[in-house]
Structure 1
Amino acid sequence: MKLKQIHIYGYGRLHDFTADNLSDLQLFYGENEAGKSTIMSFIHSILFGFPTLQQSELRYEPKTQSSYGGKLIFDTEKYGEVVIERVKGKAAGDVTVLLEDGPAEASDFLPKLLNGMDKKMYRSIFSFDLQGLQEIQHLKEEEIGKYLIAAATIGSDGLLRAEQQIQKELQELFKPGGRRPILNDLLKNLRQQDQQLKRAKQENAAYESLLTEIQKINSRVEATKEFLKQKKIKSEAVNELFKRWPLIMEKDQIKQRLLELGPVHFPADGLKRLEKYHDRLLELSSTLQTVHQRIRSIEHEIKENALRQEFDLNKAQIFVNEWPQQEQGLRELSNLDHSIAEERKKFDAFLAELHYPAKMVEKINSLNLGIDMKARMTETLQQYIRSEDRLKDLADRLKDGRKVVIDLENRCKEIEQQFVSESVFKEWRIHYEEQASTASLKEEKSKLEKEIEELEKRKKHEKDLLHKKKRQSLIVSATFLFISLGMLIWSFISKQWSMLFAAILGMTFSGYFIRKVEGTGIDFITETLDGKRRGLQKLEEQLKRAAGDNHITHQYEDQQRLRIKWKEDYARLQDEKQRVAEMENSFHQLRRIVEVEERKLNEIKAELGLDEGFSHLKMEDAFSMLKNLQSISCQLNEAMAKKERLQKEQGKWTEGLFQFLSNVGEPVHEPAQAVYFLQETLKKEQEKKIVIKELEKKFSELNIDVLQLKNEDSAIRSNMKKLFEAAQVDDEEDFRKKAKLSEEKNILLERLALLEGQLGEIMNPFHTQEEIQTEIKYLKAEIEKKSQLLEEDRNSLASLNQKLSFLEEGGTYTEQLHLFRQMRSTFNEESRNWAKLAIALKLLEKIMKKYKEGRFPQVIRQAAEYFSFLTDHEYIHLHVKADGNLAVERKDRVLFAPEELSKGTGEQLYIAIRLGLVHVMKKEYPFPVIIDDGFVNFDQARTKRMLELVQTISLDTQVLLFTCHRHIAGQFSEDRIFHLQQRLPTLNLTE
């Protein structure tokens, strides 16, 4: 999967940015702020979506224009060329995918293309920068090895951190032998509560007996309270009845009088209504006389304001209404004359500026000046300008290239002049090789001198040791010899021949021991030392003979450097010649393209009626002028037609106006004067019409008022008759008598309602006040008796509660049981949390184990090869020890932990592991590798080896390098470098 093209519509400070024909190993070189990080982020965003507003990652939304997004073009083995475009839309952007055979559904295709890869996983494996390298320096020494192992399994330490976090939470919940963890503390409290529950269970029997007795007394107390409550309510009711006895007696008397009166039929407010009817009849009679007088006055005014019959108001109004439009028409005619004159001036000016031939003026309206023609002209002109600019640029580059070729040829000739003949050079090379053997002689001499020095030290040590042993053996031998000599003299004197023989043996043994001590290994050291000295003497003689050839050695080295320099310059000369030849070929092709485009422009000029010598650069302006001429011509034709139409309309309207005025008897010869006469006449007639309309309206309203007054008079008289019928009387006098009886009854009813409101729904089972007093005394005695019993039960209840409180000081059995179950529930809940974390930890361990057993060994083997190459085989192997930590083996078989390596070597190890992981996963995930300034902490030799390794990896995996360092860019050929400038124009690698 190779990235071929990057096209940014708008992303950060990049706008309309294009990078084509990206190679397998592509270097993006630019200074700080040139856009390297922006391009890396753009690749991530197009593949996996723009960062959302809630994420901390930069979104790189453009500040100066609205376009946001772009596209990437990949070349894949399975799908061919794939175009992935993402632009501003929903949270992660709107993405479209285009395959060679048409569009594809992005939501289904992208996960398939990326094989389930997400942004975090991609950045942890295939994309890394200086920040990722610096993370290693911030880790603790004991964490570096684990971090590198995690990088070799999944590309980052994500699972490692998750494992550490779960382990920490597990220890916070439970720790064997611990006291502070939550589960340890809960378990301790649960055991204590279990003991308290057992003690409470023993006291529960006496407790239950007290509870039963208290419950029984409480029931009796509640029953007594209820009895006293009912008796008190009844006593209060009887006392209230005694207090209201006079009101009860008054109520009975009122009811008796109402029975005597019986039913009285009289309408409500009968007298008031009757008086009201009399007053209204008088008002109606007076008002009716006034209305008849006003009717006669209005009839007279209508006759005085009669309209002229011969004047047609509607037709006159039409002429008046049309007059503003006719005035507007007159003004338009004047404006049209002015506009026509101005447009003719513009038309003539454009023709003069274009030097347009007179024979083509009539054909202007038929010219093809549409969008297609403009697009064709613009595209051809732009292609011509672009090709001409490229031709000039290529000519300059060709001139520079030829100059470089001449310079290189001269340099090669100068170097060739300094060459010696081949025979002399061969003789010098023989001397140089002999001189090279001198270096080995010097090394051998140094080695012999060290060996001689060691042997002399050993010889001195052996001499000291021999002298010490000899002194010790002499003391022992002399002592033994003295004893043997004494035995010899004694045995000879005493004639003890057996002792004499033993003394002789002792003296013989002493002499032998002394000789044995003298025959040690120092002779062997002396012989070896003499041999080494003879060898050293021979080497010194050889070195003296070779010392006279140093001058020839220097001359040979100078010639060797000249020949290497000549080869480099000659190779560069051949490259430059090839490059110049390619540029010459491109120059001829581009010149033919320019000629073709120029012919196309001449054809367009002919179609537009322009002279062939007309400037190419002014064609767009000429097109705009022709467009304006065409527009002006159309406008002139439309203005002339409109002028003719307006003149006809004006004549027809004026003729109708004069005809109408002659019929009325007012001959007028000026349209404005005629319209003024019509306006004045209309005003007067309309005023009369309004007056007549108002008078007729008032006349109609007065007739309606007369009718309403008569109807009201009849209605009032009918209502008075109904009022008498409701009171069941025939005349007004009987009506007034009935009103007095109705008033008395109403007063009694009001008093009765007041008494019933005061007494309410009171029950009266008594006939006299004495019966009430007897009932009051009885209820009082019952209440006193039950109150005394209630007081006795309350005293007993207090005593029992005091006994119960002694048992409840430590809590009842039920409370202890409830507390125990609550604590057990809490313990079980925390235990479940601990179990979840333990299962999660186990799953993580299985995942890590799966990675280590499957992918990890392959990664380590490949990383070891890369690391050995990067360190110039100083470190040859990577090992995973039994405790799971990583170890690095040096070529002298010494093991080092990762944290013991230097900063640069540690970074080399990290990069080797990351690249090893990429190598193992390339079949499953064949994605490009992105590296941003990953080698800045390396010295020149390490950087060179790193770039050689990247070159090797790029043979089957595309690598995109981003750097701001010139010395790194200098290691690449120009065709592999993409230069990023501070101002970022649209670039194309093929140009």
Structure 2
Amino acid sequence: MKFKKIHIYGYGRLQDFIVDNLSNLQLFYGENEAGKSTIMSFIHSILFGFPTLQQSELRYEPKTHSSYGGKLIFETEKYGEVVIERVKGKAAGDVTVLLEDGPVEAADFLPKLLNGMDKKMYRSIFSCDLQGLQEIQHLKEEEIGKYLIAAATIGTDGLLRVEQQIQKELQELFKPGGRRPMLNDLLKNLRQQDQQLKRAKQESAAYVSLLTEIQEISSRVETTKEILKQNKMKLEAVNELFRSWPLIMENEQIRRRLLEIGPVHFPAEGLKRLEKYHDRLLEISSTLQTVHQRIRAIEQEIEENALRQEFDQNKAQIFIHEWPQQEQSLRELSNLDHSITEERKKVDAFLAELHYPAKKVEEINSLNLGIDMKGRMTETLQQYIRFEDRLKDLEDRLEDGRKTVMELENKCKETERQLVSESVFKEWRIHYEGQTSTASLKEEKSRLEKEVEELKKRKKHEKNMLQKKKRQTSITSAAFLFISLGIFIWSFISKQWPMTIAGILGVTFTGYFLFRKVEGIGMDFINDTLKAKRQELQKLEEQFKRAVGDGNIASRYEEQQRLRIKWKENYARLEEEKQRLEEMEISFRKLRRIVDVEERRLNEFKMELGLDKDFSHLKMEDAFSMLKNLQSISRQLNEALDRKERLQKEQGDWTEGLFQLVSNAGETVHEPAQAVFFLQETLKKEQEKKIVIKELEKKLSELNIDVLQLKNEDSAIRSNMAKLFEAAQVDNEENFREKAKRSDEKKILLERLALLEGQLGEVTNPFQSQKEIQAEMNDLKADIEKKSQQLEEDRNILASLNQKLSFLEEGGTYTEQLHLFRQMRSTFNEESRNWAKLAVALNLLEKIMKKYKDYRFPQVIQKAAEYFSFLTDYEYCHLHVKADGNLSVERKDRVLFAPEELSKGTGEQLYIAIRFGLVHVMKEEYPFPVIIDDGFVNFDQARTKRMLELVQTISHDTQVLLFTCHRHVARQFSEDQIFHLQQRVSSQI
């Protein structure tokens, strides 16, 4: 099955969306939200139906328009082109299927087309996405091997999960030797209840007696019913005999006539065979006459097409066969002339370019133009160029250095002219060192003024705080004084002497604090500091006035100091530059000598190559290549001349032999082409004659064989007629026909007899007449009526006894026990049936899994091993299934790994290899396309490349639709394999 076209009427955000001309390997590329998952879901929905509202799967119903659905067009081997259209309708959608010869009923056709495949199975085998890979990472380590084996058998671990669930439910219902399962518990209770029922049953003797009587009557009823059944069967047989009496009589008459006729020996269809033999003998006689006439005509035609003996066909074929080669030789001669002319022009051009004398052309072939020579020359040339460049660079640097020295000398002289005498400079320095610069004095003065202002503010603030503190202390002391006086007066009056002493002490201390002078320590410090700062500021103002008066000398001194520093710097640089200049001049002279040596060596190479001494050094490599080409062209020219001479000789010899052959055949020609044309035409005619003669001889041989066959057939037919008379035991044709009549009569009677016996069957007739049969029928009817009356009486008695038994059972303990027993037995039977259903289901699952593992699983593992080995760059070479059913991976160094021991990326490669192996094994039964949605995002660049190579290989016989949003994956495909979703969706929206 191969998808050819996808047409989405409306599905999710896609509307009137068409993808046609799908290739075997089709890539859908687009960013997130471009519609990749929508297209995948659309394919699933068209094949298997839209998801219902009860399912958790997205339905992708359009939000902005009413169209819902679309169609798929694909090619199949069995049905040709198939169109499946599904639109909004019932739960899964209304589906229409159209084949090449017209529409078909979808409900009948789709299951045959999909071969029983459902959506879940398709997605687990043929539809691979990142979610399937992520399932591996969520499994426990011990579950990974089982999951991969399940993927190799049916594409998913669904059956394994069902098997585990059924096994669990079975063990919950019943477990041999168990106590907790339901059936074990019910069986134990049922056995106990059965014992109780038996004890209750023994307690009722009347019940036992009544039960025995019921059994006796029931046995008698069954016996009577059996007798009635046999009598009715006898009556039916006698009735049948009575109705068949005329046929019995006819049967006896036919048997008597057959005895009269007796045995008749006559071959089967003797008359027809005899007539057939007569007709064939007439045909043979007529055919023989016609064949003899055709033989004579063919012999005459063979004589007319006799071959020419003087024409040698073998030589003619040889010359005709060699003619294209000779034509090629003629063209080659023409090409050689042209080539020789061109080569000579090239030689002249090279000689002119190299200013090479023509007389030295022959010496070029003897020149040493080997790799060693070129290497030495190239190395020498590179050394010369490198040293020459360094020499020029050094020369430029020398020139720059000389200019720099001159500039520095000029600067030093200019600076010296601006300097004062040393005695004047010393006098200015003494005056400068004894004074402070105006700027620093001004800055210091400003700082002291700010500090004085700050101290004044602090003094004012401190004074305010001190006055406030004095007021608070006075108020507190006065209050404490009044309290102490009160205590003193009270204690003195009441003669409380300790309190009196305390009152005196309180008054004394309060008076001290009240009348003492409060002076802050911080206030003294502020006053002293403020006084010192004012004195310092006064001295600084006097210095500032003096500095302003002598400011001109200070500025001159500073200027002279800067000039002396500048002169020192320039002079130091001058000395350095002179030193560098001297070193460069020494290097220049050394390099000049090296360049001269390399130049002499280059001139020696020029002499070896035959070049002029004035030839440019820089063109020596080009000259070497030209000389190399000249050597090659010279050799080719010599070879072309030799080839031309050889071809001319071969051409002359061949043409002479050709004209000689044509002359022998009686024809005169002057051009080889005319001679070859004559040979071709003559040979064609002779070969046509050969073919005609061969066909005529073949026809003549066939006609002679026909004559022989006809004569043999005539003899055989006459022999068969004699055998036919012998089989009928007659001597002539008349007796043969008479015996045929008796044979036909006997045959008719036997056929009628067989028909009667078929109608009568194996009927035994013990009666002599119909009257005896009628009497037997009357006796049987009377006996049947009697037995029926007896049976009815016994049934009435049995019903009465059962009613009495029912009363006994309902009237006591036995009834309750019986009811409870039956109820428990019903519950046990119901649960047993459930257990039996689960056991049958488990057995079927085990058989299915065994079938998959015995037939499909080995093929899948073998193919998956090939794919996995390729994906891992042959790091892992084999997959094995151990005796315990677990999967193992063999590395190339023969070390085995369990799947859970592999890395995340390698584990995903193993899973994909198994899925692809399953697709390969199932493609004959289920030839569906494979859909992959970004299944390789966790792979590195190398693994992704090998995965895409594997996908390319699989796409040769299975269509692959690949969805991705990764640009590096898209770059691995040609443009005609990529469908750009972003561009197409944007243009349609």
Q: TM-score, normalized by length of structure 1?
A: 0.44
